[in-house]
Amino acid sequence: MRFLLIIGAVLLWPWSALAQLSGPSVDSQPPAEPQIDDPETRMFGHSATSPLWISGQINEIAQGHPSFPAEYSGPNSLKSTSEFAVSNVFTLYTAYEFNESFEGIFDLEEASGHGISDAVGLAGFVNLDVVRNPDLGKAPYVARLMLHKVFRLSKGNVESERGPLSLFTELPARRLEIRAGKFSMVDFFDLNSVGSDSHLQFNNWTVDNNGAYDYAANTRGYTWGAIATYLSPRWAVRYALAMMPKIANGENLDANLFRASGQNLEFEYRGGLLPHRDGVVRLLSYLNTANMGNYQDSINQYKAGEVSTPDITATRRQGRHKYGFGLNVEQVVAQPVRVFVRLGWNDGHNESFAYTEVDRTAAFGSTFGEDCGSAKSTGWAWRTSSMVFRQPIENTWRSVGSASCWATAP
């Protein structure tokens, strides 16, 4: 099936330049239109003016570890025996610009392979791509299906970088943007030019994303919802309302937003913390409502002898909340060196529902290079669970646990 998608992308790719071939005769044609060329990350240049975008990306990650001693190993532990695993993600990006303020996005994706220990045993797992859970099958699925509308609020324009999630090359300096459809929340929230892309930057999912940000998503990492963003030259604010999964990390989303939802609010300030140096500061908050279990209730059930093993799923109740906050800073220190810092916190009382069981996190890193293709990056992350979650008990927790740890991300 992957080969069919690749062949389709190759066959359709010339249509993205169709606008260049129509019009005046060869003798009277204007100079060739500008292309977006980056030999480090692209096989073909993309048109800077064509209304159609078609591109594809294949990401393969191979990881392994030697055997190590372990006093206890359960079904949700990192395997103590040596292992090796390869994950594969293929994405076909398509988009169409209807006019200077309205566009549509449609992406297909295929995931296969596995992560080490089938992606359990680490709260800060070392392969973000396996969040798309290849166990659901190798058949391609719709990753994004989204409409994007821009409302002008000022006369002046600013340049915009054209890419698979937006084709606009020029936008109003002050504007309101509305997106609706299927998307990944971290396509637009908690972004960071240094550490947000497992395809070009880091692999660890608590370095590419805020580990304490339990953003609304199904097993594949996507949700349905809407995002409203106000942007000005110096600052921006965005709000999203999206569907939560019916069960923790489940594939099916709950369409009843009055019963279950993920609300996200982010403030962004584009101004360096250092004089005459570019930088961005983002403040994030979120509130999830869903059919969540409670960690303390599960421990109390176990201590009272009601269950033989603490089970978070036995304490689920509709209408429970989980909320958290994040700080995201990136700063140019001296060209071409950039650094980033992420801090995250959530209340830690109710079940981690869509991302990973991290309640406190701190990550920082740096990159040396002008672009993603040539940049050399390094990052570190620390994360921990709440004190309630780490109460000592005789038997293992029946869920993927976490412990305080340091980790590096290549």
What per-residue confidence (pLDDT) applies to 135? 65
Helices then strands, each counted (H, E), the chain: 3, 18
In sequence order, what E strands does 114-190 have? 141-152, 157-159, 170-172, 175-183
How much is the pLDDT for 29?
Answer: 40
C-alpha 196/C-alpha 398 separation (Å) is 30
Residues in the chain with pLDDT < 50?
Answer: 1-33, 37, 39-40, 372-375, 387-410
Instruction: Give the pLDDT of residue 114.
Output: 84
**In angstroms, how far apart are the furthest CA atoms of the chain?**
87
Please work out, in degrees rounded to the nearest 5, the angle formed at the alpha carbon of residue 27 by the alpha carbons of 22 and 29.
45
**Do 225 and 216 form a contact (C-beta atoms < 8 A)?**
yes
Bridge partners, 364 (sequence order)? 341, 380
Q: Report how far residue 280's alpha carbon sits from residue 272's, in angstroms, rounded to the nearest whole number.
A: 6
pLDDT at 92: 95
Cα 5 from Cα 374, distance rounded (Å): 28
DSSP string for residues in 2-51: HHHHHHHHHHHGGGGGHHHHSSS-GGGPPSPPPEE--TTT-SSPEESS-S
Instruction: Write out the two tokens for 351.
Output: 């079940």
> What's the confidence (pLDDT) of residue 321?
93
Residues 6+ apart with CB under 8 A from 275: none
Domain ranges for the chain = 2-24+33-68+80-409
pLDDT tens-digit readout, 152-163 = 999 999 999 999
Closest CA to 128 of 230, 14, 206, 38: 206
Cβ atoms of residues 143 and 164 within 8 Å: no
Q: Which pTM value belongs to this model?
A: 0.80
pLDDT of residue 402: 31
Task: Name the residue among 82, 97, 5, 101 with its Cα closest to residue 47.
Answer: 97
